[in-house]
């Protein structure tokens, strides 16, 4: 089986396309489109089913940190391997970061 045939098989096995809604979902989907060289990534697309591996995981996390300022532990990608789950995890970490900053400097933000 050629690489092109393998790619077609991977794409045909994907779940039905559900368009991202939130800003974070769109950001994760656009990073995956860029890395996997596909036109559309839906909420339920699976990083590993798309052909994700450790190098792409590191690239994904680097791009997320570069674009959001939020550092994601690699285990979070392994546990949250869909756009929906990863975007939700990033939102959770963003909220935690925000609360930590507010706790450390409550008077600066009021």
Domain harbouring 66, CATH code? 1.10.1200.10
- From CA 88, how far away is CA 17, in angstroms rounded? 18
pTM (2 d.p.): 0.77
The per-residue pLDDT for 14 is: 78
Domain tally, the chain = 1
CB distance 98 to 68 below 8 Å: no
Domain containing 52: what range? 3-109
- pLDDT given at position 3: 61
All residues at 6 or more sequence positions from 106 whose CB lies less than 8 Å from its CB, including other chains = none
Q: Which two tokens stand for residue 106?
A: 């409550």
pLDDT tens string, the chain, 110 residues long: the values are 556 665 565 556 778 889 999 999 999 999 999 999 999 999 999 999 999 999 999 999 999 999 999 999 999 999 999 999 999 999 998 887 555 555 555 555 54
Q: Which residue has the tokens 């939130």?
A: 22
CA angle (26 as vertex; 30, 29 as ends), nearest 5: 40
């Amino acid at each position: 089986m050629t690489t092109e045939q393998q790619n077609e098989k991977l794409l045909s096995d994907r779940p039905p396309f559900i368009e991202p809604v939130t800003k974070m979902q769109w950001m994760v989907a656009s990073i995956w489109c860029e890395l996997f060289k596909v036109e559309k990534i839906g909420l339920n697309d699976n990083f590993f089913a798309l052909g994700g591996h450790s190098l792409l995981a590191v690239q994904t996390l680097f791009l997320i940190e570069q674009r959001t300022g939020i550092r994601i532990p690699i285990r979070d990608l392994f546990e949250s391997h869909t756009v929906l789950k990863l975007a939700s995890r990033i939102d959770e970490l963003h909220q935690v970061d925000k609360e930590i900053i507010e706790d450390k400097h409550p008077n600066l933000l009021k």
